[in-house]
C-alpha cells in the first residue's frame, strides 16, 4: 500500500468538542491506501467523524520513510500511520473574542493548540 499525506482546511461543526473555542484547523493526515482517491475520501471521512467540516484540500502527496529525517517531528506520525493505517493531526487556532474566526495567527501557540489524533480506520474520537 501507498502512504498519502494530505493537509485539509477544516472548521468545527457544533458536533465537534472544540466548537466553542476553535475557529478552524489545518488537519494533517497520513493515510495508507491503494489509490489516492480512496485515501483522500478516507481522510475526509475521518475528519467528518470528528465533527469537522472540510473546507478545502490544501496539499496532497505520497510520502515514504525517506521523506522524513530522523529528527523530523512528522516522522513519528508517518510511522504510527504505518502501524495504524491512519493518523490525523489537528493544528487548531482559537476564535476571537466575538466568536468569529481569528484570521491572525501571531498569538497562536502551536504547542498548546495542536491536537494529535492517531486513529485506526474505524476508531472515532470520543
DSSP class per residue in 6-65: EEEEEEE-TTSTTTTTEEEEEEEEEEEESSHHHHHHHHHHHHHHTTEEEEEEEEEEEE-G
Nearest to 61 by CA among 36, 89, 90: 36
Residues 40-66 have a mean pLDDT of 97
Res 125 pLDDT > 90: no
Model confidence at 96, pLDDT cuts 50, 70, 90, reads confident
Residue for cell digits 502512504? 3
Q: What is the pLDDT of residue 97?
A: 54
CA atoms within 13 A on the CB side of 77: 24
What's the pTM value of the predicted model, to 2 decimals? 0.77
Percent of the chain whose pLDDT exceeds 90: 75
Copy the grid coordinates of residue 112: 498548546
**Amino acid 120: pLDDT:** 45
Chain mean pLDDT for the chain? 83
Amino acid at each position: 500500500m501507498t502512504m498519502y499525506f494530505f493537509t485539509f482546511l477544516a472548521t468545527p461543526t457544533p458536533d465537534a468538542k472544540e466548537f466553542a473555542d476553535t475557529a478552524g484547523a489545518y488537519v494533517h493526515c497520513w493515510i495508507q491506501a491503494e489509490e489516492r482517491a480512496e485515501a483522500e475520501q478516507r481522510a475526509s471521512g475521518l475528519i467528518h467523524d470528528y465533527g469537522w467540516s472540510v473546507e478545502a484540500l490544501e496539499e496532497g502527496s505520497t510520502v515514504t520513510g525517506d521523506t522524513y529525517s530522523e529528527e523530523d517531528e512528522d516522522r513519528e506520525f508517518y510511522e504510527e500511520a504505518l502501524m495504524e493505517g491512519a493518523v490525523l493531526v489537528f493544528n487548531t487556532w482559537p476564535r476571537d473574542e466575538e466568536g468569529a474566526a481569528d484570521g491572525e495567527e501571531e498569538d497562536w501557540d502551536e504547542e498548546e493548540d495542536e491536537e494529535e489524533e492517531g486513529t485506526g480506520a474505524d476508531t472515532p474520537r470520543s
